Structure formats: C-alpha cells, structure tokens
Amino acid sequence: MAITYELIEAKTLSSATASIQFTSIPQTYTDLLLKVSARANVSGGYTNVMIGINGSTSNITWLGLYGYNNTNKGSNTNSVSRVIGNANANSSTSSLFSNNELYIPNYTSTTAKSFTSDSVVASNDSTNGVLELDAGLWNPGTQAAITSLTLTNSAPGDFVSGSTFYLYGIKNS
C-alpha cells in the first residue's frame, strides 16, 4: 500500500499573528500531518503551542515527556492541557525557530481522536533548549470528523513573522 502526502494548506506569517487556523479540512484523507516552525513574541526562552479542534479547547487528555536546559527531564499528565509542542520565545537566540510535528490518525472517524507530536526548541546556550514528546486524546462526547484546527501559544503573545505552518493530508492507498 503506497502512502501519499498532499499539501492541504501552507501558511507563512508576514506579520505577528495570535492564532493560526486551518478551516474546512477536506474529509478525503486517512490521516493529518501538521509541520510547524515557530517563534512567539512572549517572555522567556519558549512557550507551549496549544491546539483547538473543531472550535473546542476542552475534552483533551494529554501526556507529555520532556527534557530541557540540558539537565531537567520529566513527564506530565493533564486532563485540560492542549499542548502539541513548543515555540522559541524572546530570550532564545533571535534567529532560531522551533520544529514541531503533529500526527492525527483516522481524523474522519466518529470515535475519539488520538494524536502524537514531537517538538524541539533549539538554543545556542544551555538555558532554553527543549525536547518534548506529547500524546493526546480528544473526546468531546459527540463524535465528529475533524474539520478545523486552531493553534495558539500558552502565553499572551503572537507567533512572529517567518513562522510556518504546513497541513498535509495522508492517503493510505
């Protein structure tokens, strides 16, 4: 079975933007893949990238594994977090943007939707680097296919110019 990736939509920011939206996601694919390279104008070395699904920011159960600042590592679970990765922020090296990948299998099904993501925030020093792996489950009760995704960051602030967001549809045919 050949697997094909097709670009659904690409967004490259030319100015600061608080949220990124992919709407009217076609229902013609098996899975979704979102690739993000981002930076946010918020304080600190990095900020969390958060997801909303079909306009909902609730009913997401989440587990994250992380390592940061060359020495700290751990895990976290949360029944209200919507984290799918991180973005470089103001105190990280100005030319660096994070790398994030979100995978959503079987997004057109009428069951709860699982997702996995990985994220790296690079740093030229030992204080702002982050590696994170996340898994989540969106279970709103009334099941529907995913038709839209919204991305924001956890701190008040915008994604900056030059941040990129690519949404792909995957066909297993």
Question: Which of 69-73, 138-142, 163-167 is modeled with the greatest confidence?
Answer: 163-167
CATH number, domain containing residue 91: 2.60.120
Q: Phi/psi zone of residue 164: left (φ > 0), alpha (ψ -120 to 50 degrees), beta?
A: beta
The count of domains in the chain is 1
pLDDT at residue 24 tops 90: yes
The residue whose two tokens read 């979102």 is 34
What is the tens place of the pLDDT at every residue in 47-104? 999 999 999 888 888 888 888 776 777 777 766 678 898 999 988 888 889 999 999 9
pLDDT of residue 2: 62
Q: In terms of residue numbers, what domain contains 114? A: 3-172
Split at pLDDT 50, 70, 90, the class of 10 is very high
- Considering Cα of 117, then 89, then 161, then 50, what sign does the dihedral take? positive
